[in-house]
Structure formats: C-alpha cells, structure tokens
Chain A
Amino acid sequence: MAVFVYAENINGVYKKAAFEAVSYAKAVADQTGDTVTAISVNPTDSSDLLYKYGASKVINIKDEGLKNFSAKAYAQAVSEVADGNIIVFPHTTDASSVAPMLAVMKNYSLITNVLEAPESQSPLQVKRKAFSGKGFMHAKADGTGVILTVSQNAFGVKENAVSGSEEVKNLSVSNEDTKVISHEQSSGKLDLKEAEIVVSAGRGLKGPENWGMVEDLANVLGAATACSKPVSDIGWRPHTEHVGQTGKAIAPNLYIAIGISGAIQHLAGVNSSKTIVVINSDPEAPFFKSADYGVVGDAFQIVPALTEKIKALKG
C-alpha cells in the first residue's frame, strides 16, 4: 500500500515544503517497504520535480472548482484519491488546515509538527514538536490510518530519485462555502518559514527607520527577515514577521538575532534553528546562553561591517 503525500503548490509551483514532505514520505515508505504517491491540486510544475525526491507516482487533481483554496474542498479532493494508511502533509498554513478535516473524514489519527521519520510502525510512533519548541513529544497513533504533518525545515529536503509516472484525475468538488475576494502575494520576498537563513532584529534597533541595515544583511545572505514580539506590537514591522511562541516558529540553518535580549517566549520560536548568532550590546543578554556564536557590541557598527565581510566572502 502506498504512502501518500500532499505536495503543496502555490499558484501551480511546488514549494520547498512539498519536496520536504515527499522526502519524508519516502523515508516512511522505505520503512514499510512501500512506494510514495504524491497528490497535487492543479499543479503547473512538472512531476519530475517530485520523482526526484522519491515519489514514484504523482496524481494531479484537475478541478476548476479548486482554483481557489478552501480547506474543506481540498480535504474532500484529497480524500477521494488517497487510499493508503499513511498520508503525509507539510505543516504549512494551508496543508495544516486540510489535514485535520481529512483526519475526521477518514477517521484517521493526526499527528502534527513531526520532526523525524517514525520511531516505529504499527502502531506508528513519531517525535513531534510540542510546547512551542520548549519540548518534544513522542506520539503514538491509535488505529492504522495516520496523517502526519511535517514541521518545516526539520526533516530536510533529501534527493532520492526514482522513476515515476503521472496520473491526471479530473474531479469536480463542490466549493461553494467560501469565495476568494482578493489575493495579495508579495513577490520576491522569501517565505520566513521556508528560509534557510533568517536575520531578525528587536527593540535594540531603536526604530523602524533602522531596518535598512537588517535588510542589507539579509539580502547579502539570501535570508528572510524577522522580528521580536515587541517590535511587531509597536508596529515597527508587520506581525507576519514576528517569530516566537505566539508568532511563527522557525527552524532555519542560521538565525541571526540583532538587538534581541532573548526572552523565553522568543527562544521558544527560534531554538530549533541549527546555528544561532546573537549580536547585542548588553553582555548580560540571556540570549547569549542559547547562542552558538555571540558578539557584544554596537549593532549599528557591527551589522554593516558584517554585511561587507560576507559580501566579500561571496565575491
């Protein structure tokens, strides 16, 4: 029986989270001796992209009614094609909206925010993130049908090319309860939760007018920008950039925190980062205790200088 995976696309284009979910599904399938079948809704990207990460079959759902996202309609569509005992989703906003509805439809167990391949099968047990990153839970599914959502940037994208085939499935799911009025997507901006590097700043920057140097550093690194809670509360930065316990939880390879003291709530959202650099003028800032590298000093001198040095490195 195949392991199914929901390969999310945005406007037809696969997200990194989709490749990560397929990579994860391949690891699960290798445990159970199965193959991976990916499901996508109205993709324009080639299925070759999914074969590369281990999907040997791709089911492309074609449905004009699903042109706009609706959690309920998407769950209905996925339930019509996914007939395996394990269904993997990325833990993105949309996918993690579909997964709980699908779990109820199919009467499956749902384990969200999983970090690693399952520790055991039948019953399926897996490590997941809990307490906003302050702890981990080993969760066991009761019953045989299980839906898993994979925490972004936790398992990683792993190439594992197989030969694959594509099937087009024409559906017409009813999608009358919700209607999209407008859709704004800021182009060219890196998705914070998918970013490999995140440059973040706090109240130590003294005002929104000083964010230019944060963006300069982020640009040189190909990073997304983020901020601490007080900064988004005051309105210096949009709340979509707030990382922490009540904002976004992120897990980039590199997190650079500038002028952030490191309150426990902030750490909760960022301590899954693989490497943490803290730049702060206060040598007593608690964040240094949770950092890999620290620099005590004036951010207004350090950040531009660091930007220049990284620029030089990248040549």
Chain B
Amino acid sequence: MKILVCISSVPDTTSKINFTADKSAFDKNGIQWVINPLDEFALTKAVKLQESQGATVTVINVGDATTEPVIRKALAIGANDAVRVNLDPKDSFSTAKEIASVAQNGGYDLILCGKESIDYNGGSVPGMVAQLLNQPFVNASVGLEVNGAEATAVREIEGGKETISVKLPAVFAGQKGLVDEKDLIIPNMRGIMSARTKPLQVVEPVSAEVKVQGVSYDSVPPRAAVKMVSPDNLDELVRLLHEEAKVI
C-alpha cells in the first residue's frame, strides 16, 4: 500500500499574526514554521498504517526551499520519502494541481491531508485534489481503517458521525480524532538522524494557474476595554448582557 500525505508549512500556533506595512502580505518575520497541525494527524495516521500494514508513506509539500526543515520533520516522524514541488503556492487551486500532478502517476492507494491549513484556512485543497484525480473524497475524517481495496472511514457530521466504506484509491481529509493528540509522534534522535538521509525529491511545478488572489489583509480590531463585574453583583452581569449587549 502506498500513501501520499500532503503537508503544509504554517506559522506555529502561538504566532501573533502581523501583516506587512502595506497590508499586501503576511509578515513572515520572526515566525517559527511547523507542520500544519491538522496535517500532523494525517501524517501520524499514515505512519500507523505503515507500522500495521507495511505501507510506504511519501510526504508532499508545495513550497519553496524554506519549507524543507518542516519536510525533514515529517521524515523524522516516520515518512519514507518526500517530494517538494518547488513553488511558493498562491492559492488552493495551484497547490492542488501540483499535488494531483505528482499523485497522478504515483499509484497511491490513499491520499491523506489535514482538512484545512491553519494559515489561509481554505479547506479546499483535499477536495480539489480528489476531483482532479477523479477519486472519492471524505472530509473531516475522525477514523480510518484500510482493508484491501477498501477503506472504512468515520467522518464527523453536524451533531454526530457517520461510518462509510470507500473504494480506494481515495482522498481523506483528517482532523483531530483521526488519531488522538496523545498519539502524535514526537521525533526521537534516531528519527531525526535517519531523516537526514531519507530521499527528498524536488520537482518543478507543472502549472502556476492561480484562481484566487489575496489582495490585502487586515488584523482583527481590538475589542473595547473589558467591563469587570463583581462576583457579588451578578445581577449587573445579567443586566449588561440583557440590556447593553442584548444577547440574552
């Protein structure tokens, strides 16, 4: 079984988000880059399938050379090899097109992704990859087992969950629950050392067709100063919520 895991390099979750002075782009100064946390659930699931079913796990990232430390981390977590498409991605479609192009001839049984990236939050790449490859797509996956040419996936639905069987090859977008937080793999020294020698192939992009452009960016405006209410005067809190905020 061959698994392709799509990873995105994103600002660490503790990052304060700033934009350049002309507001035309995200300000990358002082940012630590990590594997998109939702992709990490997908990667860990793939490594678990590698252990239990002898799958090979390839990670793919669409990004310039600055994303390589994040790709090496994915290799240290347990992926067998990696592909970097040498393109600073501009939108979901251009990213999906590159991934689909690499996947096209790779013979992957499963393509696993996080359901969205925590930076641009498009949530579109996995579904686009699936459609470009004409494969089934399961979003918001919180469980996945593989049995020959079929997978059983559990997906979150509003107010519940649904278990489905899916013909492979297929694309799955995962989130927390696909593996537990406590099962996420923290690379050990052996993993880190071996990651240095694992193959990381760099391929050139096949297309740079962009369909959506980020024209400008705004920060979230600060809230007005907090109104503190004494714990002995909850009537006042209720009054404020009822009369001032008008939310109850």
Q: What residues of chain A have their CB less than 8 Å away from a CB belonging to chain B?
A: 10, 15, 68-72, 75, 91-94, 96-101, 103-105, 108-113, 125, 127, 129-143, 176-186, 189, 191, 193-194, 197, 221, 232-233, 239-240, 242, 245-247, 253-254, 263-265, 268, 271, 274-278, 288-298, 301-302, 305-306, 309-310, 313
Q: How far is the CB of B22 from chain A (nearest CB, A)?
A: 13
Out of A100, A137, A268, A271, which one reaches B126, CB within 8 Å? A100
Q: Which of A70, A141, A277, A305 contacts B136 (CB 8 A)?
A: A70
Q: Is the CB of B131 within 8 A of A293?
A: no
The 9 tightest CB contacts between A and B, nearest first, are A100-B127, A297-B231, A177-B136, A97-B139, A185-B160, A104-B131, A254-B247, A134-B17, A109-B211
B207 at the A interface (CB under 8 A): no
A-B contact pairs, 21 of them (CB 8 A): A10-B158, A69-B157, A72-B130, A72-B131, A112-B123, A127-B218, A130-B121, A131-B26, A131-B119, A131-B121, A134-B219, A180-B163, A184-B160, A193-B158, A232-B181, A233-B182, A240-B177, A263-B14, A264-B13, A265-B13, A265-B14
Chain B 94-126 per-residue mask, 1 if CB under 8 angstroms from chain A, else 0: 001000000000000000000000111111111
Q: Which of B177, B231, B245 contacts A292 (CB 8 A)?
A: B245
Contact with A along B156-195 (1 / 0, CB 8 A): 1111111111110010010011000110000000000000
Question: Given B17, B128, B227, which contacts A103 in the complex, CB threshold below 8 Å?
Answer: B128
Contacts beyond the supplied A112-B123, A129-B121, A183-B160: 20 A-B pairs with Cβ under 8 Å: A15-B158, A75-B131, A92-B158, A99-B124, A100-B96, A130-B214, A140-B215, A142-B211, A177-B167, A178-B167, A184-B160, A186-B160, A193-B158, A240-B156, A246-B118, A271-B220, A275-B241, A277-B241, A292-B224, A295-B234
A181 and B167 CA atoms in complex are apart in Å by 13
Nearest residue (CB) in A for B120 is A130
Find chain B residues with CB under 8 A from A271 CB. 220
- C-alpha spacing A296/B182, complex, angstroms: 32
Name the residue in A91, A127, A183, A221 with the highest tally of chain B Cβ atoms < 10 Å from its Cβ. A183
Question: In the assembled complex, which residues on chain A have CB atoms less than 8 Å from the CB atom of B165?
Answer: 178-179, 181
Contact present for B211 and A143 (CB under 8 Å): yes
> What chain A residues lie within 8 Å of B155 (beta carbons)?
93
B122 lies within 8 A of A112 (CB)? yes
- CB neighbours of A293 from chain B (8 A): 226-229, 237, 240-241, 245
Give A240's nearest chain B residue, CB to CB: B156
> Which residues of B are found within 8 Å of A292, using beta-carbon distances?
223-224, 226-227, 245
Tell me whether A112 and B231 are in contact (CB under 8 A): no
B37 near A306: Cβ-Cβ < 8 Å: no
Contact assessment for A125 and B124 in the assembled complex, using a CB-CB cutoff below 8 Å = no
- Interface footprint category on B: 35 or more
B229 (CB) vs chain A CBs: closest residue? A295
Point out the residues of chain B lying under 8 angstroms from A193, CB to CB. 158
The chain A residue with its CB closest to the CB of B218 is A136
With the chains together, A247 CA to B142 CA distance in Å? 12
Return chain A residues, CB-CB under 8 Å to B212. 109-111, 139-142
A104 proximity list for chain B (CB < 8 A): 93, 96, 127-128, 131-132
B38 and A97 contacting across the interface, CB-CB below 8 Å: no
Main secondary structure of the interface of A (DSSP, over half): mixed
Q: Which residues of A contact B166 (CB under 8 A)?
A: 177-178
A-side contacts of B26, CB under 8 Å: 131, 135
Task: Give the CA-CA distance A127 to B214 in the complex, in Å.
Answer: 10
- B235 close to A309 (CB less than 8 A): yes
- Determine whether the beta carbon of A302 is less than 8 Å from that of B234: yes
Min distance, Cβ A40 to any Cβ of chain B, angstroms: 16
Q: B157 is contacted by which of A112, A131, A132, A185 (Cβ under 8 Å)?
A: A185
B80 contacts the other chain (Cβ, under 8 Å)?
no
Please, which residues of chain B bring their CB within 8 A of the CB of A288? 226, 228
Of B157, B170, B237, the contact of A306 (CB 8 Å cutoff): B237
Docked-complex contact A135 and B219, CB < 8 angstroms? yes
Assembled-state Cα–Cα distance A182/B153 (Å): 11
CA distance A309 to B11 in the complex (A): 43
CB of B248 within 8 A of chain A? yes
- Chain B residues with Cβ below 8 Å from A134 are 16-17, 219-220
B152 at the interface (CB under 8 A from A): yes
Contact partners of A68 in chain B: CB under 8 A: 164
Closest Cβ of chain A to B218, distance in Å, is: 4
Cβ contact within 8 Å between B157 and A99 = no
